[in-house]
Chains A and B, each alone.
Chain A
Amino acid sequence: MTTAPPVLEVRGITKRFPGVLANDNINLTLRKGQVLGLLGENGAGKSTLMNLIYGLYKPDEGEILVNGEPVEIAGSKDAIELGIGMVHQHFQLVDVLTVTENVMLGNEAVSGPFLRRDRARAEIQQLSREYGLDVDPDALISDLPVGIQQRVEIIKALYRHADILILDEPTAVLTPQETRGLFKIMRALLDKGVSIIFISHKLKEVLEICDEVVVLRRGAVAGHADPKESTEQSLASLMVGRDVILEVEKATATPGDEILNVLNLRVNDDRGLPAVEGVSFTVHRGEILGLAGVQGNGQTELVEALTGMRPVESGRFFIKGVDLTGASPRKVTERGVGHVPEDRQRDGLVSSFTVMHNLVLCTYYQAAFSQSIVVDDRAIAENARQLVQQYDVRPPIINNIAGGLSGGNQQKVIVAREFSRDTELLIAAQPTRGLDVGSIEFIHKQIIRMRDEGDGVLLVSSELDEILSLADRVAVMFEGEIIDILPIEEADRDTVGLRMAGVREAAQDGAT
């Protein structure tokens, strides 16, 4: 199989950014009809490398060969002409345009200066049928779920006759079912002779779909691996450069009394439409309740309501027996609730503030950090120095601007702030989204530690693996309702995956 002719070769590529060696003498070979997995932590240089291949950056050294010929890729236009298509991690779709308009953008079907939407639409439908990429060509992008948006991105590449497809973290936003759908599409593409570079840090997926794996570490190739002879463990070690414990070690939970009690809660979304439709559950001290569900099924609104960031329509919730429905975020915080918000850039940090000030965002006014109306920077700095050490924020410079840190370290700042307070209930929403293996391992350990110290934890995640490895009980949210709560022993991938897709148990059908 590895004898298939190479379609894309990267030879000795080096790219420097001011102060950073982003890519250091990298060599890769992609063969026709195969999937090359590109594995690496955040900041390992995967995206830089792909942007070089796609012409968004210019390499400082080295060359790129397409079908054996050295090529100069000065811009995405050149890449497109060479048959290279890229599905970016953050979709490059214009929200207010339709699928057809997005697909043809830059490569429009026209007669004279006028657009021929009908011709582009027909071509999209043709591609849809050929590769099983079901999508409505006239839908607006903003109305489509992410899984479908991804299909639009793939169609965009195919519409430009791409035969080399770069998928940058394509599964980060998908449910297990959607991921399976994506793999099916990828296999259909491979059968038609398309070659794929698959970027991910999900080891399981890389092992499943790839023909060959290249691991990047700190900008350089750390090693090649044959998926047939590798394990998740071996790939993770190669990626991080040390042994990583993938399985979270935890003792069985010893749940205490109720700490959070939610009764028939209803919350609306930004458009005023019901997002949470009558949800009831409890969280006990010393246990982790995992709230699984595909993004956009009301988890965001639920968490925002529980932390005082969003008004409650009806129903109520109690923390330590006190009704906090409609209380302000500060009240909730002072009641002993730690919150790791889903959108860390927007709700977790003030990105233009320093690390040390971000570490006291919810305590700065308390006696420890303020005297009357004057903030005590010395105490804040002292606090920061300790936390930065304890939570391994890198670089450990407390005067750095928080917005300049990597995603993982930003998250560590938030975790440090929230976990170091005197909390009894922890609400963590997507705490490891977009983080690399090392940071995930660290944050998982901290969550378990909090549980063992007697906190109740509500863990909201769309990563099924995260829920299954951390939670003591699993609740599944679908279309604003909790359709099932299972003890962890009964929660296997398939059951929870089906619940996430909205399949209820037959017995429960009439009950709701």
Chain B
Amino acid sequence: MTATSKPKTRRPSIRITRRRIIALLLILLGLFIFVEAGTLDSELVTTLTFESTSLGEEPTVGNIPVPTSPYLVVIGLLFIVSGGLNLVEWQESRPRGISLALLAICGLLFIPTVIIAAAAGNETNLTTIVAESLRLATPLAIGAFAGIWCERAGVVNIAIEGMMLFAACFGFTTLFFLRATPLPLETAQLLAVIIAVLAGGLIALLHGWLSITFRTDQIVSGTVINILAVGVTSFVRREYLLSTEAGAAKLGNIAIPILSDLPVIGEAIFTNQPIFFMMFVMLAFTHIVMFYTRWGLRTRAVGEHPHAADTLGINVNRTRWTNVFISGMIAGLAGAWFSLEATGSFNDGMTRGAGFIALAAMIFGKWTPIGAFGAALLFGFSDSLGIRLQMVGVGFPVQFLQMVPYAVTLVVLAGFIGRASPPKAVGQPYVKE
């Protein structure tokens, strides 16, 4: 029972645990950074700046010059040390806590390190990186919220991609035709977004019909919708939209009162397009509904243990229908981002798998809105990094650096957060009796 009866370690076998694998990866990564740092010119300095996005006018708030090579040496050593510490399975709580804390610090430092390494010898504007990451995270985060609404109620939604594509197409088509009418642009755009949202909801009803009413396998039903979306939207484009002269206007910027007057971030973040702001609205909405309202409690119960909910008089299938519909509308909003907010045009397959990345964000975020938002940000950062690096022009394939945040996510999730547990009843049609 006590320390005296500790097991005799007769067979000192080293067991491969999750943490040990992470630790090994960390050491390898540290070595890599260390070696890389050696090859760099030791005079190189990365300057981190904080400027607003518009060119020149605003004064720079601050510059942080970072000597690239020494920084990387330090980081490399830190990675190696914390990896080494984590190889040991500490029994005592103190070294255990210290090694875990170091691991967490390494995780946090990773992204800045990538930026600093990539921009060696250059200036890099952190404000734009943040703003760009947020902007590119928008469809992913909103798509992930759509997934949460559906899956928390126990219905798998891999059709987010298809719903987005439908919404992007029909939203744009609406705008395209309304532009020919005397309606003012803002009204036409608003109607277009509404149609996009409803299109998403309508497709979701098809998903509900197949997977709730007919109890089709939910993955199959979702796949059907994804395939259907590709076909229908490209047909619509070829048939009606090809005569597009210049493309319709994108959604205009909105400046949030007061906040938009803040230096630097006021312009970079708080002056932005409407669906971007809707991301935050949906984040708050989803979080509050799921965890603080009656509807959310029932939704979660239905997704976890539908029979228990049924015995308490909750209509399982009606709850699921409603959630699937809401999920579709939210996915529709994410779809509108592509055609109405980001580009002002519609192209075949323009969602480029964002629906699936949104699902990944939902899973990485453990089916919570805040977690999913964080994961979407990471993916958005990865996108923006890729774009930036292409502009700066680095020595080695950009795709590698683009991969890094994804790889980090996988490692961090596998190492820290552990097994993600979906709602228990997800994917199972509910059959009464």
Which A positions have Cβ atoms within 8 angstroms of B? 54, 56-57, 75-77, 80, 86, 88, 92-97, 101-102, 104-108, 110, 113-115, 156, 264, 266, 277-278, 313-315, 481, 512
Contacts and interface: CB of A to CB of B under 8 A. Distances in A.
Given A115-B292, A115-B293, A97 B304 contact: yes
Contact of A57 (B307, B308, B309, B433): B433
Q: Which of A94, A106, A108 has the most CB of B within 10 A?
A: A94
A310 to B, nearest CB: 14
B7 A512 contact: no
A105 B312 contact: yes
Interface string B288-310: 00001111011011001101111
- Most central of A96, A105, A114 by chain B CB within 10 Å: A105
Contact of B310 (A76, A115, A156, A278): A76
Indicate the member of B8, B11, B294, B300 with the most A CB atoms within 10 Å: B294
B80 to A, nearest CB: 27
A110 B294 contact: yes
Contact of A105 (B11, B309, B424, B432): B309
Contacts, number: 84
Contact of B294 (A77, A113, A315): A113
Nearest to A266: B7
A278 B294 contact: no
Given A56-B311, A512-B1, A96 B292 contact: no
B282 interface: no
Given A76-B311, A106-B312, A97 B433 contact: no
B10 interface: yes
Interface of B: 1, 5, 7-11, 292-295, 297-298, 300-301, 304-305, 307-314, 424, 432-433
A481 B312 contact: no
Given A96-B300, A266-B7, A88 B305 contact: no
A345 to B, nearest CB: 17
A114 B311 contact: no
Given A57-B433, A315-B7, A94 B313 contact: no
Nearest to A104: B297
Contacts of B314: 105-106
17 contacts: A56-B432, A57-B433, A76-B311, A86-B311, A92-B308, A92-B311, A93-B305, A94-B301, A97-B304, A105-B298, A105-B308, A105-B309, A110-B293, A110-B294, A115-B292, A314-B10, A512-B1
A76 B313 contact: yes
A76 B312 contact: yes
Nearest to B432: A56
Nearest to A156: B312
Nearest to A17: B433
A91 B310 CA distance: 13
Contacts of B313: 75-77, 80, 106-107
A426 to B, nearest CB: 28
A278 B300 contact: no
B1 A105 contact: no
B307 A92 contact: yes
Given A77-B313, A278-B7, A314-B8, A114 B292 contact: yes
A94 B305 CA distance: 6
Nearest to A316: B10
B433 A314 contact: no
Given A105-B297, A105-B301, A278-B7, A94 B311 contact: no
B312 A80 contact: yes
Contacts of A94: 300-301, 304-305, 308-309
Contacts of A106: 298, 309, 312-314
A108 B11 CA distance: 55
B5 A278 contact: yes
A108 B297 contact: yes
Contacts of A313: 7
A92 B308 CA distance: 4
Contacts of A104: 297
Nearest to A265: B7
Given A76-B310, A76-B312, A92-B311, A114 B298 contact: no
Nearest to A109: B294
